[in-house]
Structure 1
Amino acid sequence: MKAISYSGYGGPEVLEYGEARDPKVGPDSVLVKVRAAAVNPVDWKAREGYLDPVLDAVFPVIPGWDVSGVVIQPGASVTEFVTGDEVIGYVREDFLSRGTFAEYVAAPVRTLARKPRNLTYEEAAGLPLAGLTAYQVLTGALTVQEGDVVLVHAAAGGVGSIAVQLGRHLGARVIGTASERNHDFLRELGAEPVTYGEGLAERVRALAPEGVDAVFDTVGGEALKVSADLLAPGGRLASIADASVVDLGGRYVFVRPDAADLARLADLAEQDVVTVHVDETFPLERAADAQRLSAEGRTRGKIVVTVPWTD
């Protein structure tokens, strides 16, 4: 099969497009013919070796954890899916090797759910990692409830844009940080936009003088430090970008595959509660360009790699 892979850590230049071994299908996995795979910041961070302290890399590594596609072959013990089912998945294992930037991926059934019927393959590929992150932070770490005021950092990005929509669905008032060019986009999603950078605290306090009930940090650094000072009494703080959030009394969250959570997100997508904005698509052979764009950190919504359908 055709795939993108790298044989050692490094910049985007280590990514190679070519032939890779067809994946074997274990008893608890299904073989998925990939139609699209979303790009996430963790992809280039893994490629550069940032995850090496916690995840072994079995080289050559095929990157990518998000996928949408069609089941070609269920594993021997799989009863949840049959050949021809359209699926989405956050296909993460506890090592780096068998990713989704390929024509086929053997996906553990615990990582999959049925694809929302109203989403394109490209849109559906952008839902799993970003959607699960937003869902698990809002409903778990932050326990967002109706009437809460929630601050979401980088609210126009892949995770942030879904967090805005889920927060509104949970009955919260959502304030979102973004560059001015994305303010109208955030308003369309239901958020009250504020510009990030110097003076952020004052701009947020102008909207929420008594503080915010919860902060969803996707940026880390100075934005995280400012956030802690913006919390109302009893406020909750969670970050997916900066583990030092624990020192501030908050929670650090690393998203985990969960088939039930993913199925819930798929249902919300079919109800038009959650939409996925695809900013740009790249063919599989240009995955290095897709990762370069992701690393710039200015994407609205998702970047997606597409795999042409061939019989």
Structure 2
Amino acid sequence: MSNQQLALQIDKPGDIPVVGPREIPNVPAGEVLIKILATALNPADWKIQDMGFLSVFPAIPGTDLAGEVETVGAGVTKFKKGDRVMTQGFFDVPDRASFQQYTLMKENFVAKIPASLSYEEAATIPMCFVTAAVGLFAPSAANLNPGVEWLGHKQTGQTILIIGGSTSVGQYVVQLAKFIGFTNIIVYASKKHHTYLTGLGATQCIDRSAVSLDALADAIPGEVDLVYDAVMFPEAQDAATNIVRVGGKVATVSNGADMRSEAVKEASKDKHFYMVAGGAQWPGQEEFCAALWERAERFLIEGIVKPNRHELLPGGLRAIVPGLERLKKDEVSGVKLVVRPHDTEI
């Protein structure tokens, strides 16, 4: 195998990403080299560029990936060459990013893919599945299943509201909320996605075009024990905090900023608010994420978690920049955009 690959690289801050050659990294002990056969695009991939979160240049974005194990490092026991796998890459560690043809990952943060799933389907799972699980399960957030165990219907009788239910994160929150037994799973999403979300486990769907965030509380019967905000807007954070019951919990996907108004913060000191950035690269999440990845294959085999619907973009890595522009313009809804890095023409 050649030691060269193609990667979508950002040479310095502010540059447009371009496809170019890059060395395939050597494989450290305890890690696997993965040949990336599919990678998915996320809004976070353009946000981290625009918000200046990248610090290592040349930078390679991208986190969602699926492929085959190419090489295993010393001491690896869980995987062998040719295994079909998926993982969540690290956005500011070029050797662990997904917008390239090969990447590295520690074996504890990799899962096998069931034969029933394609690489493209599997690539829609990692980042948003982990983000959903961290917000619901992890000790750093709602702490409903810190050991990632099969607990039965632990949350029976309780109500969860998911703002942004048709987002990738929102779809996984619906499925994981069903897994731990929430009786009422309410989603706030576009009407065109309601049938699909009901199939995933939602028990009530509220049309976001018919009901404003300010009026959302009036559309929900009874108390809400947990709100998961999957859209990360100030208005959504305020609405989530206002709606949840006293003593209840709010989990919100986050760039690290509490965007709630001062008035809402002051009035909600008796409610719990958690900002969620899911991933093994974040300090304090390594142990939880290792447990989650160890059980990820079982979630898929048992049908507890289903991948997002997806749209395959032709052109390999060169399709990523136009795809991210579509995400930035809010032109994508209810599906994930996926590319095959090895379809890239030189």
Aligned to 1:157: 167
Deviation at 1:195, TM superposition (A): 2.3
Q: Unmatched 5+ residue regions in structure 1?
A: none
- Asked if structure 2 preserves the Cα contact closer than 8 Å seen for 1:30 and 1:108, the reply is yes
2:61 partner amino acid: P
What is the CA–CA distance in structure 1 between the aligned matches of 2:244 and 2:193, rounded to whole Å?
A: 24
1:244 partner amino acid: D
Deviation at 1:175, TM superposition (A): 0.8
RMSD in angstroms over aligned alpha carbons? 2.2
Q: Which moved more, 1:108-117 or 1:126-135?
A: 108-117
What is the CA–CA distance in structure 1 between the aligned matches of 2:17 and 2:258, rounded to whole Å?
A: 31
Q: List per-residue Cα deviations over 1:83-138 (Å, max 9, x = no partner).
A: 11111111227x34231111111222232111233211011111111111111111
What is the CA–CA distance in structure 1 between the aligned matches of 2:104 and 2:234, rounded to whole Å?
A: 37
- Asked if structure 2 preserves the Cα contact closer than 8 Å seen for 1:9 and 1:48, the reply is no
1:284 partner amino acid: L
1:142 partner amino acid: A
Q: Does 1:31 align with 2:62?
A: no
Deviation at 1:2, TM superposition (A): 1.4
Aligned to 2:58: 60
Q: Does 1:10 align with 2:23?
A: no
Aligned to 2:199: 188
Aligned to 1:168: 178
Say if 1:116 and 1:201 are closer, same or farther in 2 by CA, change over 3 A: farther
What is the CA–CA distance in structure 2 between the aligned matches of 1:139 and 1:264, rounded to whole Å?
A: 13
2:317 maps to which of 264, 275, 284: 284
2:194 partner amino acid: H
Say if 1:44 and 1:96 are closer, same or farther in 2 by CA, change over 3 A: farther
Looking at secondary structure, tell me which structure has more strand per residue: 1
1:193 partner amino acid: C
- Asked if structure 1 preserves the Cα contact closer than 8 Å seen for 2:111 and 2:296, the reply is no
Aligned to 1:212: 224
Aligned to 2:127: 129
Q: List per-residue Cα deviations over 1:175-215 (Å, max 9, x = no partner).
A: 1111222222222222121123663354443332x221000
- Asked if structure 2 preserves the Cα contact closer than 8 Å seen for 1:128 and 1:262, the reply is no
- TM-score under structure 2 normalisation? 0.80
1:294 maps to which of 327, 341, 346: 327
- Secondary structure of the 1:250 match is strand
What is the CA–CA distance in structure 1 between the aligned matches of 2:172 and 2:188, rounded to whole Å?
A: 14
Aligned to 2:274: 251
Q: List per-residue Cα deviations over 1:162-187 (Å, max 9, x = no partner).
A: 11111112111211111222222222
What is the CA–CA distance in structure 2 between the aligned matches of 1:255 and 1:132, rounded to whole Å?
A: 6
Aligned to 1:100: 98
What is the CA–CA distance in structure 2 between the aligned matches of 1:295 and 1:262, rounded to whole Å?
A: 29
Sequence identity of aligned pairs in percent?
Answer: 29
What is the CA–CA distance in structure 2 between the aligned matches of 1:182 and 1:162, rounded to whole Å?
A: 14
Q: Unmatched 5+ residue regions in structure 2?
A: 145-154, 281-288
What is the CA–CA distance in structure 1 between the aligned matches of 2:163 and 2:296, rounded to whole Å?
A: 21
Aligned residues: 302
